[in-house]
Structure 1
Amino acid sequence: MTVRRTLTAVAAATVLALLPHTAQAAESYPAPRPITGQQIIHDPTVIRLKSGGYAAYSTGGVIGARLSKDGKHWDDAGNAFAEPPTWWYEYNDTGDPWAPDLSYRDGRYWLYYAVSSWGTNHSAIGVATSATGLPGTWTDHGKVFSSQTTDHWNAIDPAIVKADGKLWMSFGSYWTGIRMVELDPATGKAVPGATVHHLATRPDAPYAVEGPAIVKHGRHYYLFASYDACCSGVNSTYKIRVGRSASVTGPYVDSTGKPMLEGGGDLLLEGHGRFIGTGGQSVFRDRGEDWLAYHYYDAADDGTPKLGLNRLSWTADGRPSVR
């Protein structure tokens, strides 16, 4: 997911003026939490560290790192790794990783990430662990799961969730959409011969849904996914949709009952005002509250990708909304 700045500030302002939905959307969605410091990010995953403060990892660099003491001021903290593990070069010439996922279990931080090339599903998901979750402390453990050009899925955009005593990884981008496999908790890697479950897709090619994140709230599991196109500055059409299921493996449906396997999904957040192409999302827990982390393209700053943070609230019938 290479980040590209495509328009000047003047052109960005022109695009905003031409967007028919902007005024309505600006009234419908809250602005992200104001932050300072290093705001540039793409495909963020955020966690509150056991040692205090916050870490965010992202696409860019060798998994770009940001650190914050309060969740409001963020500092550039270099990269997760000093250099790419050699096996990454099997999937692209630059050792460029994408879309990490950060979690904590069994006394360690776990960092999942993808390596691939634009436009192919010759892809792999890898995993690293750390005692502290801080950049420069990660030990890579190699491939978790991979896909080939003969497969009907794309092994990128990993996201981890525990359910019913098992560990699961959702993933997927275009091809046939969002998939899921069971992981071995001891290794963090796919169970040999694991069933590849199908969670969400679109009715028509190119099946533009990717970047899953699954969380449990109440008795349901919620699948958040990015729909449409990223990575084109203020021309991006990314938006976040969500469905829910009583089972982690689905079926996921929206509030009308339409399955996400048939293109369903309630619209949670889309471009509004200066905040264009909202997506690449993850969800993290902080002091009893759920937060949505995502990137947007700032139409007031040349379409630069920046960190968006909004709290999630839940309706009485268990539907999420941003605030």
Structure 2
Amino acid sequence: MFALLFLFIAVVAAYPARGPCTGDCWTKDPAVIQRSSDGTYFRFGTGTGVVTMTSPSLKGPWKDVGAALPSGSKINVEGVDSHDIWAPDVHKEGDTYYMYYVLSKLGTQTSQIGVATSTTLEPGSWTDHGEIGLPANSAYNRIDPNWIEIGGKQYLQFGSYWQDIYQVELANALQVGSAAPYQLSWNASLNHRQEGSFMYKNGDYYYLFFSAGLAGSYTANSPPAGEEYSVRVCRSATGTGHFVDKAGNDCKQSGGTMVLASHDQVYGPGGEGVINDKDLGPVLVYHYYPLSLKQSGGSKGNDGYQFGWNELDFASGWPVVKAT
């Protein structure tokens, strides 16, 4: 019993405190980017029309400034409100910002990935271009998009459950190319509970971050301890395959090194991304569920999720969260 208690304390103490957040810290699946013209931070998240927050720093104060797509998406997904938009991913090319997003019927493969563009990031400034043309397939779910450029070519990571994380080459930032999607990561031991992938280049490697475990409206009784969301990673020299974890395990054979798990008040961290902060360097951004809220019975929907962030240290060749 004492050994188990010691192990629990050691695990809880293994992570530093998250970075501070003031103002409106509610979020789900945060995508954070800094506007190049004035340094303003924008935080986009799952919600009606894509929830948009702004702040002068990562610490806040964050302010809700409205929906990125107040009229919803032009995509028609049966049984889904076009305003109910998930998992935004935002990057900049030239003078244009691109936002990939999702419409999906929960728990099904009835999903579509769309894209919108803006030159300012401001709510209502986005032009919706609709579907990117990713074909349906029983092997994957078309959700949780993430863009990256590798060797002058553009790619999109995506997927959740079924056969987990996939990658597809894009013809351009608005459309999928002719190449077939292929699998990057898979874990049968997690009941295929992998999603929210985000690829980040550091040094000689591409790091594939993903959320493993159960996400949802956490309550005092669910899920079983250790089965909630956590952030894990594999790396590759090419970015297009052969991802392994720190122990050398293939990411397509249940590999994945833990980056961040539940600790202190941070319960079920996930929905992650990595940004290069102008002052702090690489920073992991994510959502989490306050443990005190879970212990009190939880809340309905996504109301309880909060914005979390930690600096990342890659000195060992693997990302390690550190205190700010």
TM-score normalised by structure 2 residue count: 0.88
Give 2:192's match in structure 1, choosing from 171, 189, 207: 207
After superposition, where does 1:71-86 map in structure 2 within 5 Å? 71-73=58-60, 74-86=62-74
* Cα pair 1:124 1:147 within 8 Å, conserved: no
User: 1:35 aligned to 2:21?
Assistant: yes
Kindly indicate whether the alpha-carbon contact (under 8 Å) linking 2:75 and 2:114 is maintained by their aligned counterparts in 1.
no
- Three-state SS of the structure 2 residue aligned to 1:182 is strand
Question: Structure 1 residues 294, 20: CA separation in 2 closer, same or farther (over 3 Å shift)?
Answer: farther
Aligned to 1:14: none
Moved over 6 A (4+): none
In structure 1, the residue corresponding to 2:47 is in which secondary structure?
coil
Structure-2 separation of matches of 1:91 and 1:126: 17
Tell me the residue number matched to 1:260. 251
Q: Which residue of 2 aligns with 1:48?
A: 34
Count of residues in correspondence between the two structures: 302
Match of 1:110 in 2: 98
Q: Distance in 2 between matches of 1:238 and 1:176?
A: 18
Cα distance in 2 for partners of 1:205, 1:217 equals: 27
- Give, in whole Å, the separation in 2 of the partners of 1:81 and 1:45: 15
CA distance, structure 2, for counterparts of residue 158 and residue 22 of structure 1: 35
* Aligned-residue CA RMSD (Å): 2.0
The share of aligned pairs that are identical, in percent, is 36
Instruction: Specify the SS of the correspondent of 1:41.
Output: coil
Contact 2:32 2:275 in 1 (8 A): yes
Contact 1:233/1:305, CA 8 A, preserved across alignment: no
Task: Write out aligned runs for 1:198-237 (5 A).
Answer: 198-204=183-189, 206-233=191-218, 235=222, 237=228
Q: 1:166 to 1:210 in 2, by over 3 A?
A: same
* Structure 2 counterpart of 1:171: 158
Q: CA deviation at 1:22?
A: 5.3
State the one-letter code of the partner of 2:10. Q
- Residue identity in the other structure for 1:195: A
8 Å Cα contact 2:77/2:110 also seen in 1: no
1:134-283 equivalence runs, <5 A: 134-146=122-134, 148=136, 150-185=137-172, 187-191=173-177, 193-204=178-189, 206-233=191-218, 235=222, 237-283=228-274
User: Conserved in 2, the CA contact under 8 Å of 1:44 and 1:282?
Assistant: yes
Q: 1:20 to 1:119 in 2, by over 3 A?
A: farther
SS in 2 for 1:225: strand
**Equivalents in 1 of 2:130, 2:247: separation in Å?**
41
**Counterpart amino acid of 1:111?**
M
Distance change in 2, residues 1:272/1:114 (3 Å): same
- State the secondary structure of the residue aligned to 2:132: strand
Question: How far apart, CA to CA, are the structure 2 residues paired with 1:200 and 1:284?
Answer: 22
Q: CA deviation at 1:158?
A: 0.3
Normalising by structure 1, report the TM-score: 0.88
Shift of 1:123: 1.0
Q: Render the CA deviation track for 1:170-203: whole Å, top value 9, x for unaligned.
A: 0010010000001123x42101x22212100112
User: Matched residue of 2:75: which SS?
Assistant: helix
* Equivalent AA in structure 1 for residue 14 of structure 2: S
Question: Which deviations, in whole Å up to 9, do the C-alpha atoms of 1:217-257 show, x marking residues without a partner?
Answer: 11110000000101132545000110100111111000111
Cα 1:21–1:97 shift into 2, 3 Å: farther
Equivalent pair of 2:19/2:310 in contact (CA under 8 Å): yes
